[in-house]
Amino acid sequence: MSKDAWGNLKTIFAASTTPRKLQLQQELSNLRQRDLSMADYTSRIKDICDSLASIDVNVEEGEMVQISLGRLASKFRAFRTDVCTQDNTLSFFDLHSMLLLEENHAGASTSTHANNKMLYTEGDRPRGRGGRGESVQPTGPRKKAPK
């Protein structure tokens, strides 16, 4: 009797895991970083892979790394190239840390660039070397202001 019950449970569980497996694999396949933060992006990958593992579908560490790299936003193209050309094999945890650092670095340089642009409003120009309001002449000798 217990053998029959176990067999029934096994059949029910197997039937319910097939659609869940397909759903999770589809989610993983469709996942892209786009506007997600790196923390959210890598967390989502890890969550899906953990859910797959809970129904006995193992996603290897190397596959998680490849999925993560392959679906990064285009602004991380150079980072992806650098990582893919390294000789050593990365763990997902190491990649996660590197992605967070890269996102922080990219955000810092973007905000610095934006802040530098904001320093000059319309009509303002950078000052000359002496800071006395001289304009910088791109070619030719500098003209003296009349006295």
Place 7 in a pLDDT band, splitting at 50, 70 and 90: confident
Query: Per residue in 86-95, pLDDT tens?
Result: 888 899 999 9
Q: What is the pLDDT of residue 112?
A: 47
Question: Which has the higher per-residue pLDDT, 116 or 62?
Answer: 62
Q: What is the pLDDT of residue 115?
A: 47
Q: What is the pLDDT of residue 30?
A: 96
Query: Per residue in 73-124, pLDDT tens?
Result: 999 999 999 999 988 889 999 999 999 999 998 887 654 444 444 444 444 4
Q: What is the pLDDT of residue 15?
A: 59
| pTM: predicted TM-score of the whole model, two decimal places | 0.64
Q: What is the pLDDT of residue 13?
A: 61
Is-contact 73 97, C-beta < 8 A?
A: no
